[in-house]
Amino acid sequence: MVYVIPHFHHPTTVTLTSERRLHLLELAAKYKFAIIEDDYDYDFQYGRRPMMPMASLDRNGNVIYIGALSKSLAPAIRVGFMVAPERFIRGATSLRKAIDTQGDSLIENAIAELYKDGTIGRHIKKSVKLYRERRDHFCEVLRQELKGRLAFNIPEGGMAVWANFLDNDLTAVVKRAYKNGLIISDGTDYDTGTLKYNSKGLGFASLDFREQERAIDVLKRSI
C-alpha cells in the first residue's frame, strides 16, 4: 500500500505532478498494490485548474480515494468519505461496524442535504476566495518582515506555507515565541533520523489580516 496526499502535501505543500501520478498508477497495476489517495485539500486551489484525482484515471481498482469535511466545514465535523471498489467498501464497512455500529446519523443526513441543495458548493467557493486573500496577505507580510530569515514558496493551494528557517534554530525560536505569547510547533515531527529540516508549516487560513500581522510580528521578535 502507498499513502499519498497528491494536492498540497502536508506539510510541504507540494503537489504531485501528472507524470508522477500516472507512473504511480502504472506501478500499482503492475505490482498489484493499493494507493490511498488522501485528497482532503482538493477544493482549496488558488491558482491553476486542479488536476483530476488519480481515482478518476484508475482502471484497475487500485485507488482508494478519501476525503474529509473537517477543513471545508469545521474541525468539529468528524465526517469523511471514501470512493473505492465495491468489495473494498463492503469490507471496510464491516470493520467500521465492529468499531462503531452507527455514526452520527443526524450530522451525516444534514450534510447530505447541504450537498443536495448546493450549499456546500457555494460555501467552498466563498472560502476559496477568502483563503486566497489571506494567503496573499500572509506571504506578503512574511516577505516584508522576514526577508532573508525565512525561505518559502507561495503555495498554490491548501492552508499553510512551508517555511525554512535559514539562520536560526527553529527549536530556540519556538521557545522564545512561546514566552512572547505565540504557540507554534518546532517542526521536529517532520525530521528524519539523519536530516533536520529546520522547517515547519505556518498556517494562515484561520487568521484575519490583523491576526496574521500580530503573529508574524511575534515571530520576527522571536527570531
- The hierarchical CATH code for the domain 2-117 is 3.40.640.10
Distance CA(159)–CA(55), nearest Å, equals 23
Please classify residue 87 by burial: count the beta carbons closer than 10 Å to its beta carbon, then call 0-12 exposed, 13-18 middle and 19+ buried.
exposed
Distance CA(120)–CA(43), nearest Å, equals 11
Distance CA(62)–CA(53), nearest Å, equals 13
pLDDT of residue 74: 86
Is the preceding peptide bond at 11 cis, omega within 30 degrees of 0? yes
Q: Are 14 and 7 in contact (CB under 8 A)?
A: no
Q: Tell me the chain's radius of gyration from C-alpha atoms.
A: 20
Distance CA(64)–CA(85), nearest Å, equals 8
- State the fold for domain 121-222: Aspartate Aminotransferase, domain 1 (3.90.1150)
Q: Are 189 and 159 in contact (CB under 8 A)?
A: no
pLDDT in tens for each of the 223 residues of the chain?
999 999 999 899 999 999 999 999 999 999 999 999 999 888 899 987 778 899 999 999 999 999 988 888 888 888 889 999 999 999 999 998 888 877 788 998 999 999 999 999 999 999 999 999 999 999 999 999 999 999 999 999 999 999 999 989 999 999 999 999 999 999 999 999 899 999 999 999 999 999 999 999 999 999 9
| Residue 203: strand pairing partners | 160
Tens of pLDDT, residues 93-111: 999 888 887 778 899 899 9
Domain boundaries, the chain: 2-117, 121-222
CA-based angle 201:70:63, to the nearest 5? 85
Residues 6+ apart with CB under 8 A from 25: 35, 54, 57, 58, 60, 62, 63
DSSP letters, 166-183, are SSS-HHHHHHHHHHTT--
Tens of pLDDT, residues 108-154: 899 999 999 999 999 999 999 999 999 999 999 999 999 999 999 99
